[in-house]
Amino acid sequence: MNEGERYEKICSKLSITPQMRVMEGLNKNCLNLKSRHLGCLQVIAIAEALHNNSSIVNFNLEDNNATAKGIAKLCSILKQNLSLQLLNIGGNSIGKEGSAFVAELLMVNESLKELNLSSNNFDASAVAHLCQGLKMNSTLCVLNLSRNFIDEVGAYHLSLGLNENRCLTELDLSWNRLLGKGAVVLFKFLHLNKTLKRIDVSWNGLGYEGSLAIREFLKKNSNLEELHLNDNRINWEGAIFISQGLKQNTNLKYLGLAKNPLTTTGCLDVIDAVGRSKLRKLDLGDTSVTGEFEIIVMMIKKERHFECKHGGVVPSHDILGQRQGRKVEPMQRVIDYMKVKQLRPTELFRSFDKKVTKLLSFENFMERLEVCIYF
pLDDT score of 3:
85
Alpha carbons 60 and 363: distance in angstroms, whole number: 64
pLDDT score of 327:
56
pLDDT score of 374:
61
Q: Could you tell me where in the chain the CATH 3.80.10.10 domains are found?
A: 1-169, 178-326
- The topology under which CATH files domain 178-326 is 3.80.10
pLDDT score of 325:
45
Query: Please, where are the H alpha helices in the chain?
Result: 3-13, 20-25, 39-49, 67-78, 95-108, 124-136, 152-164, 179-190, 207-220, 236-247, 263-274, 291-303, 330-341, 345-352, 362-373
pLDDT score of 320:
60
Pairing of β 142-144 and β 170-172: parallel
* SS3 call for 96: helix
Q: What is the mean pLDDT of each run of 10 residues along the chain (375 residues)?
A: 89 96 94 97 96 94 97 96 97 97 97 98 97 96 98 96 94 97 93 93 97 96 96 97 96 98 95 94 96 93 95 81 56 73 76 77 76 65
Instruction: Read off the DSSP letter of residue 18.
Output: P
**Full-model pTM:** 0.85
May I ask the CATH class of domain 1-169?
alpha beta
